[in-house]
Chain A
Amino acid sequence: MQTQIATIQNKWKMRDFITLAIFNVVMLIIMTICPIFTIVSYLVVGGAAALFNGPIYMVMSNKIDKRGVLFFTCIITGLYFVAFGYAYYLLTLAVIGIICELVLWGGDSYKSPVRNAIGYAIFYVGWSLCGVVPLIFFREQYLAILKKGYSPEQLETMLYYFDTPSMILLMCAISAVGGLAGCFIGNLLMKKHVKKAKLV
């Protein structure tokens, strides 16, 4: 009986797909704007995007409350970047999406702020790693493609950020902190406004 209820609860309806898509549009727009922060540094882009998207993700997850929210978010983000010619984003984000769903597996995790924050932070760490992953697995081919597109000085600056382990770690740490802070603020805002209005 209990499993039956669980399957009913986890079945996605059209309503959920539409909610997911609309919230993802907003998240994608913010993600597209966030590279402006490269003026400060490359390292803060992931963190800034995570901080701004935190409240949006928290409300979405609480509204839909079904298994796969974060995975579908990863896939949609990946597909968006595929349209711009970054096919490896989709692969990386799909793997990250599965890891995120494992973190959120079972229980009432989509309503719990702490577990949501952890999953969400992992998603943004993965998003920042998207530029690094191809350098680890297919270094030669990827560098050949980059050499075609960028001048040597530009390539050197990019590799400084995406190929130095300390820089990668710093970038991941900033993204994770941004994700956790975003979810924390999101949770506060949700309690203050959305739950009072009984919208979730």
Chain B
Amino acid sequence: MNRLGPKTHLFVLILASILSTLVSNQLQAHLMVLASALYMLGNKLSKKSLSFVLLYIALMAILSILPNGAGTATIILYTFARMIPMIMIGMVLMHSTPSSIMCAFERVYVPKPVLIMICILIRFFPVVLLEMKAIRDGIRARGIFPQWYSALLHPAMSYECFFMPLIVRCLKLSAELSSSAELRGIECGCARTSIHPIEFRAADGMAIGLYALIGAAIYWTGGLNL
């Protein structure tokens, strides 16, 4: 196993967001997506990285088709396209196990409540999306909105039908999760141990160095006005 630690991912994420405020032309933005895709490949997330690159290409294609008068829609799509490199690296961070994240950041004295909140944020993004999908399936199975446009005909009812199950499910999830976490000793004051490698190794240093180098190279190409 030669996985990079969560600290490395965070560092690269910070580097990427600094770089994204510095880049100025289209070529640099394309190269940034490429660099992030390479980082994802290095972390064995080849399928995800491919789908993100395809999404980026699709966005760029839509942007080039759209007429100049499209105004606000262009800006929103464009901003989203600019965020993709950060989302990709965030994805790598999301794929590392919560226990390794907690252990790694507890060593650098991040307060525990903050850490728990961040871990749950990372861990629950996919879960909540799944819940939303399950609620949609439930609505469909009960035949409440038989056609796709029926939800638009009764906005108040669809609002209630979608949000109430979601809220109740969240309440249940939080109760279950906190009981389970308390049972596993989350309130214990001792230092954590981890079965995942979390120390800062040569590979981590190399990954950060390489990304910084690529980032610097991308920034430098802007100076050449290619």
Contacts and interface: CB of A to CB of B under 8 A. Distances in A.
Given A12-B113, A17-B116, A26 B72 contact: no
Most chain B CB neighbours (cut-off 10 Å) among A35, A197, A200: A35
A114 interface: no
Contacts of B73: 38-39
A162 B78 CA distance: 17
Given A38-B76, A199-B171, A21 B23 contact: no
Contact of B24 (A19, A52, A149): A149
B31 to A, nearest CB: 15
Contacts of B128: 22, 25-26, 29
A38 B76 CA distance: 7
A95 interface: no
B168 A84 contact: no
A18 B187 CA distance: 12
Interface string B106-136: 0000000100111011001100110010000
A154 B76 contact: no
Interface residues of B, number: 50
Interface in A58-98: 59, 63, 72, 76, 79-80, 82-85, 87
A194 B116 contact: no
B186 interface: yes
Nearest to B156: A185
Contacts of B164: 55, 189, 193
A149 B74 CA distance: 13
**What interface size band does chain A fall in?**
35 or more
A22 B71 contact: no
Contacts of B212: none
B117 A17 contact: yes
Contact of A76 (B78, B86, B121, B171): B121
Contacts of B83: 84-85
B72 A39 contact: yes
Contacts of B181: 14, 18
A149 B82 contact: yes
B117 A21 contact: yes
B125 A29 contact: yes
B183 to A, nearest CB: 11
A55 B163 contact: yes
A133 B170 CA distance: 34
B75 interface: yes
Given A15-B182, A83-B17, A84-B17, A21 B90 contact: no
A56 B116 CA distance: 21
A83 B13 contact: yes
A90 B124 CA distance: 22
A87 B13 CA distance: 13
Contact of A14 (B118, B132, B182): B182
B93 to A, nearest CB: 9
21 contacts: A12-B113, A17-B113, A17-B116, A18-B116, A22-B174, A25-B125, A29-B129, A38-B75, A52-B159, A52-B163, A56-B163, A63-B171, A63-B174, A80-B121, A84-B87, A85-B86, A145-B21, A148-B22, A148-B24, A149-B21, A193-B164
Given A21-B116, A149-B24, A154-B78, 5 more contacts: A25-B125, A52-B159, A52-B163, A55-B167, A150-B78
